[in-house]
Amino acid sequence: MKIHIAKVNGILFSGEADSITAPGVEGEMMALPHHVPLVTNLKAGRLVVKKDGAEIFIHTCERGVLEVTAESATVLL
């Protein structure tokens, strides 16, 4: 799935990955390819992007928004 993570001042990550784990306001959540569409707020915590079983991107965020579609996930911080 295509994953984009951006802040106001630029893109932190953009690329293909197997999953993204994010700190949702109601608990940690993981999005995989073909996930049901959703939009949710994020609280302070770690964003983790995985590909081939390895963590390829880790970022600590204060808050943000996560949008997931069947083909992609976008995080705005």
For the chain, what are the domain ranges? 2-76
Q: What's the pLDDT score for residue 46?
A: 97
Superfamily of domain 2-76: F0F1 ATP synthase delta/epsilon subunit, N-terminal (2.60.15.10)
Phi, psi of 11 (to 5 degrees): -90, 130
Q: What integer pLDDT is reported at residue 3 of this predicted model?
A: 98
- If the chain, 77 residues long, is cut into consecutive pieces of 10 residues, what is the mean pLDDT of each piece? 96 98 96 96 98 96 96 97
Do 55 and 49 contact (CB within 8 A), yes or no? yes
Tokens of 13: 């990550």
Handedness of CA 10, 50, 64, 2 (dihedral sign): positive
